[in-house]
Chains A and B, each alone.
Chain A
């Protein structure tokens, strides 16, 4: 993890990049979790 930033731009680039990647992972996780949750509904 990056500890220090020299400019605001550096900080925003780093944090927003991480946020977008997290967002993508979260969407995949939520989709999988939903499928896991309803998997046995039709049974």
Chain B
């Protein structure tokens, strides 16, 4: 029997295991340090910057890059684009792990993590944007777990449970799209409260729209990046259908990403016009804004378009990686660089080495969990006993 049929990884200890093992060990040390010594000794956070790298990268980037789940399921189950079906399971797995790691990262970042359930159980601040984000992220994580459970049930050969999930897949997809639309935009809406703290080039009344549209780009790009990486490193786990459909996914998602990116750049230009921020473009922050907008959004849009027109998957893969970097740059600019921009250089926040260490630990944890699931469960191939359409 092949690896796919047995569901075993069949791999020996290699450089991947050693490097990730060391990082996880180091992460365990940082975890003990964080929960015994508190945030003060571990981070460079202060009253001006209560949100640092863990919110900027682990949460804002994590949520945006996990948008592939709702984008792919909507394309397949709502719009009926069945040729993208092979991308659904890897995308849902990535999204589920992404949101899981966001919640894990949040427990490190929140001063008193045992109070995380308080928004639902104790306080009555239901008009808060943060409450809406918390509620949506919680329900969406549960939705993703439910969507992914069909894979786990196949793996465990629990046919009845799998069949129940299959019957509710359209409901789960619609719920996922609604919740994602709400919280992806609300993450941007969190910054609406700070017009005096944010640089005018990044502050806009339309920031929730920017966050939502850029999250769609992030989702499309991440599916391309993640499927390309899986094809490179886990090819032995892919069946023929996944191999055959790979080009369709890359070309289709590349074309969609090109158009959505063009729309995003257009919306940003409209934002500049509405707020009359043109004069700021001639400053240092303006240069950074143009690098972000033209270099990391307009350029990938053009490369995506060329790749989709000429059916060059290699170009699309590069553009996808580039736009993922663009999303990361945008979220860091919004939450750290353009935030408190009037402070002097010495007053600006820069993450401590342990903050970087914990972020690397969280990303590595995600990689290890993805590899664990993808090598054992029917993610990149059909389960031989459940070959019916799903």
Q: What residues of chain A have their CB less than 8 Å away from a CB belonging to chain B? A: 1, 3, 11, 14-16, 18-19, 21-23, 26, 29-30, 33-34, 36-37, 39-40
Contact = CB atoms under 8 A, between A and B. Distances in A.
Given A15-B275, A19-B273, A30-B263, 17 more contacts: A1-B278, A1-B279, A3-B279, A14-B276, A15-B276, A18-B273, A26-B266, A26-B269, A33-B259, A34-B259, A36-B305, A36-B309, A37-B255, A37-B258, A37-B305, A37-B308, A39-B309
Contacts of A21: 273
Contacts of B262: 29-30, 33
Q: Is the interface of A mostly helix, strand, loop or mixed?
A: helix
B228 to A, nearest CB: 21
Nearest to A34: B259
Interface in B236-280: 255, 258-259, 262-263, 266, 269-270, 272-276, 278-279
Given A3-B279, A26-B266, A29-B266, A40 B273 contact: no
Interface residues of B, number: 20
A11 B275 CA distance: 9
Contacts of A39: 309
Contacts of B301: 33
A5 to B, nearest CB: 9
A37 B308 CA distance: 7
Contacts of A14: 276
Residue among A21, A29, A36 with most chain B CB within 10 A: A36
Contacts of A29: 262, 266
Contacts of A15: 273-276
A31 to B, nearest CB: 11
A24 to B, nearest CB: 11
Nearest to B277: A15
A22 B273 contact: yes
A22 B270 contact: yes
Contacts of B276: 11, 14-15, 18
A40 B266 contact: no
B28 to A, nearest CB: 48
24 contacts: A1-B278, A1-B279, A11-B276, A15-B273, A15-B274, A16-B274, A19-B270, A19-B274, A22-B270, A22-B272, A26-B266, A26-B270, A29-B266, A30-B259, A30-B262, A30-B266, A33-B258, A33-B259, A33-B262, A33-B301, A34-B259, A36-B305, A36-B309, A40-B309
B310 interface: yes
B271 to A, nearest CB: 9
Nearest to B276: A15
Contacts of A33: 258-259, 262, 301, 305
